[in-house]
Structures are given as structure tokens and as C-alpha cells.
Structure 1
Amino acid sequence: MKKSERHALIETLIQENVVKTQEELLALLKEKGVNATQATISRDIRELKLVKTADLTGQVRFLQFQEEIEESNTQTTHLEQLTQDVVTKVDRVQFMTILHTVANNAPILAAAIDEITMKEKICTLAGFDIVTVISPDEASAIILEDFFKKNLD
């Protein structure tokens, strides 16, 4: 079994079962026909960012660490607010999204965009009142254009 398949199975198992120990996880994997070593499971747990914590019922179990998602949501909310405050116009040229800002606000906006990990962005370039967001392809640029235009209204 490939590592990615094992990771997907582990995620499913911890969502569907109360898994309190690595031994329990190993046993569940074995039931599914996957033979893995303790070292492999330890590495998988670390890579999947699984932590032991109390669930909604108070039982201690393995769950996926959510800080990264919550942090990303907070940063996105900050970017939405900043867009409303400083962006005056949004244009797109092929794979680039051009954000026109209030004077001297482009560097602040570019920094906020750079803080967020998103597959639609390769990098930003900031001037005095314009931020250019370079995307890997035109489809990604369209997604960014829609995001920024939505937050202008």
C-alpha cells in the first residue's frame, strides 16, 4: 500500500473510531489488511499532524490538529477586511491579478496576501498603489479575481 493510501485510511479510521493509542491504530490497520510497524505509524501520526486531545464528548483520542486551518481562516478574514479597506479596483491579465489600492497601501496588502498559503498564488509584486498577484495559470487568477471583487462590494 502506498503511503498516501495509508494516510487516507488512517484519517478515515480516526474519524470513524475512537483511537486512543498507536497500538489501537495498528490493530485497526491490520483489520483492513495493512501491516505497518510502530515506527511507520509514529511517522504517519507526525506527518498527518495527529494529536491526542479530548473530542466533543470528552474522550481522549487521536484527532487531526486544526490550528493551521483556524489560522488560515483568521488570515483570510483579515485579508477580506483589508481588501474592503484599501482596494479600489481589481483587474486581471491572463495569469496575473492586478489590485489597485489607496496610495501607499500596496506593500501592506501584498504582505497580507503573502502570509496566506494558497495554491492560486505563486508570488506578489507591490508598488506604491498596485499589487500584482502572479498565479500558476489563468484559472487560478480567475479564482483570485473573483475573491477580491467579491470583497470590494
Structure 2
Amino acid sequence: MIVRRVNVNKETRQSILKKVISENNIENQSELIKCLEKENVRTTQSTISRDMRELNIIKSHNSSGRSYYRILDDYTSTEKKLTDEERLKNVIRETGVSLVQIEFINVLTVLPGNGQLLGVLIDSFRQSFSEIVACVAGDDTILILSKSKEDAEIVNDYFKQFVPEKK
């Protein structure tokens, strides 16, 4: 049997992506791309990454500690489009683990698999937040760089209101 893969428009692709994420516990993008292929959707990893950012798809963990993708509070089902700052706050609230200031650097730790998404959101947000010079994001750690210790304190004060407090 030959399965024909079809390039679909963005709206259709994102709709199928949301359906696949909602119905399956998908652990990585390779697995996600395979699931999309089963739905006759051909796409690239970079397109999936962009779609995941736009749809507020994050990595979460179940009770056994396994990670999987999910749609963050299903904000995409509303008509309201979130700003980058609102998306940033929501993702930090959902995935934030800790925030530590070291001189002119803030180290934000998040649940594994969410660092890159937050890095992109911080990069978008820093256009209007002059105390952030740059950020470097890994899998679960983001370094937020400032020009001075004082600027880093402003950044720390802003971000710590969204990082859940340890009990």
C-alpha cells in the first residue's frame, strides 16, 4: 500500500498537530513527526518547532517522571492572541523550577525540554526589556545576561514573580 503524503497549509497542519498532541503521549519531535506522517502530513523539524511555539506546546511530566508534549492551558482554543510577554509568563509558571542571580546573570531552570522555547520567548521579549542583553538557552537552563548587577536585579525581580516557589 502506498501512502501519499501531502503538504498542507499552516492552519490544517496546526489543527492536526493539536489533535495528535491531545490524543497521544509523545516524548520527542521525531516521534511527533512520525505521528503526523500517519496523518498524511509531511513537515520538517523546524516547522514543527515553530508551530509548537505558536500553539503553546510545552513538555510536561507525568507521575512516573516521563516527559510528553501537551498544550499549555489550551490558550489556543480562545480567540485572544497572546503577546510574547503573556506566553513567556505562562510558560514560566508552568515549567519554571528555579531562578538564581549570580552578579549580572540570572540562571532560570525549567522542566527538561522547555529551555529552547523559553529562550525564544525571552529573545522576543527583550526588545522591550532593556535590562536583558541576551540569553543562552539549553534543554532546561537559560542564562539571562544583563549589563550590570543592578540590571540583573531588575530582571530577577520581574521573573521571580512567575517562578513557582519551592515548598
Q: TM-score, normalised by structure 2?
A: 0.46
What letter matches 1:122 in structure 2? V
The answer to whether 1:93 aligns with 2:110 is no
How many Å apart are 1:74 and its aligned residue?
2.1
Which residue number corresponds to residue 152 of structure 2?
A: 141
Which residue number corresponds to residue 139 of structure 2?
A: 128
Which residue number corresponds to residue 41 of structure 2?
A: none
* Superposition CA RMSD, Å: 1.4
How many Å apart are 1:91 and its aligned residue?
0.4
Instruction: Return the alpha-carbon distance in structure 1 between the equivalents of residues 96 and 122 of structure 2.
Output: 13
CA displacement 1:5-47 (0-9 Å, x = unmatched): xxxxxxxxxxxxxxxxxxxxxxxxxxxxxxxxxxxxxxxxxxx
What letter matches 1:126 in structure 2? A
CA displacement 1:55-114 (0-9 Å, x = unmatched): xxxxxxxxxxxxxxxxxx922111111110111100010000000010011111010000
Task: Note the 1:28-43 alignment, pairs <5 A.
Answer: none
| Percent of aligned pairs sharing the same letter | 22
Alignment size in residue pairs: 81
Q: Which runs of 4+ in 1 moved over 2 A?
A: none
Give SS of 1:89's match: strand
Instruction: Return the alpha-carbon distance in structure 1 between the equivalents of residues 163 and 132 of structure 2.
Output: 19
Which residue number corresponds to residue 19 of structure 1?
A: none
Give SS of 1:143's match: helix
Which residue number corresponds to residue 105 of structure 1?
A: 114
Task: Note the 1:66-77 alignment, pairs <5 A.
Answer: 74-77=83-86
Which residue number corresponds to residue 78 of structure 1?
A: 87
What letter matches 2:100 in structure 1? D
Q: Structure 1 unaligned segments of length 5 or more: list them.
A: 1-72
Which residue number corresponds to residue 42 of structure 1?
A: none
What letter matches 2:110 in structure 1? T
How many Å apart are 1:130 and its aligned residue?
0.3
Larger radius of gyration: 1
